Amino acid sequence: MNSSFRFRGFELPYLVIFAVAASANGLLWFTSCGARPLVRSLVPLFTPVQLLGAAALFCFLPGSLLVSLLMPRSRHSEWLERVLLSVGASYFLGTLVVLIIHFLPGPISLLSLLLGLDLLIALLLILCFAYQRDLGWPTFNLPDRRFLALMALVLLLASFYRFGALGHSEYQGDEIDVTSLAQAAISGQDDAFFWHKKGPAELAVATAFALFTNGFDEFALRFPFALASILAVLAAFLLASRMFNQRVASLAGVLLAIEGVTLGFSRMVQYHGVVILALTLAFYCFYWLNQVDDSGLAARYQLLGAGFFAFSLLAHYEAALMGLPLLFLCWQRYGRRLLKDNWMTLFLSTGLVVIILAAYYVPFVLHPHFAQTFEGYTAIRISPERGPYNNLPAYFVSNVFYNSIYYVVTMTVFLIVACVESVWRGLRPRSLALVILLLFVPGLIGSILFPSLLTLGGVRYNVLLFLPFFVILWLSKGMGAERRAVFLWFFSYLIFYAFIIRVPGLHYYCLSPAWAIIVALGLERVYLMTHKPMALLALTCTAIVVIYVLSAFYTCVLFVRTEPEYALSYPQHRIALYWNTHQERPRRFFGLPHKSGWKTIGYLYKAGILQGGYRTNEKSEIAGWYTDQEPSQAERPRYYFVAENPTQKEHKQDDPRELLQSEYQIVGTVTVGSRPRLHIYELEALSMQGGEITHYESEAYEPLYDQAFALSR
């Protein structure tokens, strides 16, 4: 009887995990068998099943076993924490598996990927069994109902904005950099990853999901990055609930769910969603090592946090700035005893980071392409010899387009509220607090509205207004450690990108979780100040809800609504309710809906219906990816493909109207949702259609394209 109970209570989870892994393997192997006509015809129907199996093998099982191995269940009962740590660890382990396979000679196949993941899962299962780890999951408790409801709301919002119409858009320039190198790695180019200018994590994830789904379907390859972003929102929610309370957590979660810059990047085959997930989990682990009394458990959190930090650096170098708040959190626990009491864990965690990073980055630095990458970052993007700078006005302008004026102003106002309240209450003497605030608050507003503020000799010294605030976060003990840590996260990235780097782009997304939590603290302070009388509270809450609804609707219009394409048709379809500094569509185009029907053109080439060179007013990387051939250099190629809404900047578009009218004739039109999006012009001297225009419905040709360009096994 005891043996039966032990089997059902202890060994059963092992059998369940084995069954899930075996089922995922079977599903992926069967649905990838593109040589069979029946399977080939059902490929589009298999994509959800493939993604389910891929998520189990790549995004959950390995990390779940690792977390169970490191964190015994008796000390690790928070179910949401366990889910998030498991997923983050799985992304990390899955990335390492792909990197190892890529470094082996020859092409990468689905079989090799499945074998690599299966061996990893088997090894972790054996270790868990050997150390008698309980793989059962904690159950929901009745007191968690409110927490579950708030979490469900955050999850619903984050999922809607990241998964809504995720596969609608065609790949953009940065995405094609990833898909092209992933394709090269799959085909057997052993140094394909070293030709990338960023970390290898996004290439590894894209490569894995291309193999899992037998192709480069837009939704399938964006899925793991969008999923990582959703879980990053939940991680910020969990972090805020642990650091502060559920009210702050829910406010931070709903704010981060609709933040446009983070959202735009998360809807692409790009590293950003993975980075914010890894950074948030690393921060969470280092924060939580301060909250546990058991030194052994604290060491395990430190090791896991170091792993997430290493993973974030495998995704992009900019994650290195998170080292500052992580160091602060580590110091908060150990102080001057850091080396004496924590030397073993510090040695192991540091060694883990160094070994993992060195295994990739040492060969990367030795690769011939590294010189070009290094020059691009140092000479163009960073350029420290010319600084400091003031990039806040440019960020404000871009932020207003990606978020709406209501969101940006509200987030800025309550950021200031949280900063003022925290410094005024936590810093002594009050005169010092007043000086810090008189520098920071006018400095923030003035740096945005008056770009030339504090400019001497062509150099902008706005950073001097922010550094005192940054310094007191390290030295002041009157302010709570939780607030100081979150502020350090925010200001480390803000100061670096706003004042140190010459061309930061929109990489401010790294500070978005911290920004959302700080703003939530500001909102909570206003709530506590206005909760009596009730009429004032009702008025305040109503105003905040209205602003949030306006912001959420704008985000939906910008990212989820596909007709009309708001960004590409801007300002033609501009909504007057949303004031904007932009008089034309933004120069930076990330994650915004756009489709011209290039899959149709690609299939027509593949089927031999179109033959010959072409030029286009669209970006060459987009046209080249879908047609599988680069645009022609000839002045009069056989075809011109003219998109109605190209993503190419207007001054760079190849659209010679006079030449098209005099020597070309339109022979075809590709429609998307019954609307003409792409016109096919053919040189009259070579045309055989006699003036007849053929209409191609993109919806009918996309499945044909996916089948024709599926990966061969």
Task: Report the alpha-carbon distance of residue 223 to residue 268 in Å, rounded.
Answer: 9
Q: What does the block give as tokens for 532?
A: 């009596």
CA–CA dist 674, 114 (Å, integer): 41
As a whole number, mean pLDDT of residues 453-470 equals 89
Residues 217 and 167 sit within 8 Å (Cβ to Cβ): yes
Please give the pLDDT value at position 386. 76
Give the pLDDT confidence score for residue 5 in this predicted structure.
Answer: 40
User: Per-residue pLDDT for 192 more than 60?
Assistant: yes
Written as one letter, the residue type at 567 is A
Average pLDDT value for residue range 672-693: 89
Tens-place pLDDT, residues 53-73 = 999 999 999 999 999 999 876
Sheet of 664-672, strands arranged across: 614-616, 639-643, 675-683, 664-672, 694-697
Percent of the chain clearing pLDDT 90 (strictly above) = 66
Relative to beta strand 639-643, strand 459-460 is: unpaired
| 713 or 347: which leads in pLDDT | 347
Counted residue by residue, the chain has a size of 713
pLDDT, average across residues 340-360: 87
Q: Angle 295-315/79-103 helices, nearest 10 degrees? A: 50
User: 283-297 b/e with 16+ CB inside 10 Å = b?
Assistant: bbbbbbbbeeeeeeb
Cα–Cα dist 704/700, whole Å: 7
Q: How far apart are CA 372 and CA 365, in angstroms?
A: 11
Tokens of 519: 């703003």
What pLDDT shows up at residue 428?
86
Q: What is the pLDDT of residue 140?
A: 55
From 94-103, 430-439, 449-458, the region with the lowest mean pLDDT: 449-458
Asked whether the beta carbons of 185 and 203 are under 8 A apart, the reply is: yes
702 contacts 599 by C-beta, under 8 angstroms: yes
Chain centroid to Cα 391, Å, comes to 22
Residue 458 CB neighbours (<10 A) = 6
As a whole number of angstroms, the distance between CA 320 and CA 94 comes to 21
Mean pLDDT of all residues belonging to the chain: 89
Mean pLDDT, rounded, for 601-617: 95
* Sheet strands (E) in 111-205: none
Contact 273, 510 (CB under 8 A): no
The rounded distance, in Å, linking the Cα atoms of 231 and 514 is 15
Q: What is the mean pLDDT of residues 170-199?
A: 92
Q: Which residues pair with 456 in a beta bridge?
A: 459
Contact call for residues 218 and 171 (beta carbons, < 8 A): yes
**What is the CB neighbour count within 10 angstroms for residue 697?**
14
pLDDT for 701 beyond 60: yes
Look at residue 131 in the predicted model and tell me its pLDDT.
Answer: 87
Looking at the predicted structure, is the pLDDT value of residue 2 above 50?
Answer: no
Percent pLDDT > 70 in the chain is 94
Q: Residue 370's CB: how many other CB atoms inside 10 A? A: 16
Backbone angles phi, psi at 353, to 5 degrees: -65, -45
pLDDT, tens digit (0-9, with 9 covering 90-100), for 109-161: 999 999 999 999 999 999 998 888 878 766 555 557 888 899 999 999 999 99
pLDDT grade for 650, boundaries at 50, 70 and 90: confident
Where residue 713 falls among pLDDT bands split at 50, 70, 90? very low
For residue 596, what are the CA distances in angstroms to 167, 216, 559, 636, 648?
13, 17, 16, 23, 12
3-state secondary structure of 613: coil
What's the average model confidence in pLDDT over 486-503?
94
- Confidence (pLDDT) at 478: 82
CA distance 72 to 68: 6
Q: Fill in the amino acid letter for 507.
A: H
Lowest-pLDDT range of 24-28, 178-182, 340-344, 660-664 = 340-344
Q: Which residue has the tokens 């206003």?
A: 526
**pLDDT value at residue 3:** 43
Compare 582 and 68 and report the one with higher pLDDT. 68
pLDDT of residue 142: 52
* H runs (alpha helix) in 450-590: 467-475, 481-495, 512-530, 534-555
Tens digit of pLDDT for each residue in 536-549?
888 989 999 999 99
CB 91 within 8 A of CB 63: yes
Residue 471's pLDDT band (cuts 50, 70, 90) = very high
Average pLDDT over residues 621-629: 94
pLDDT of residue 333: 87
pLDDT at 10: 57
Burial class (CB in 10 A: 0-12, 13-18, 19+), 563: middle
